[in-house]
Amino acid sequence: MEIKNLNWKDTLDIRHRVLWPNKSKTFCFVEGDKHANYYAAFVKGSLIGVASTYKNDDSVRFRKFAADNNFQGKGLGSQLLTYIIETERSNGLLKFWCDARTNAVNFYEQFEL
Quick one: which H or E segment has residue 85? helix 76-90
Given this model, what pLDDT does residue 108 score? 67
- With contact defined as beta carbons under 8 Å apart, do 38 and 87 qualify? no
Distance CA 104, CA 44 (A): 26
Question: Under CATH, what is the fold of the domain 2-109?
Answer: Aminopeptidase (3.40.630)
Q: How many helices (H) and strands (E) does the chain have?
A: 3, 5
* Domain residue spans of the chain: 2-109
**pTM of the full structure:** 0.82
Q: Which residues of the chain have pLDDT under 70?
A: 100, 105, 108, 112-113
Quick one: which H or E segment has residue 81? helix 76-90
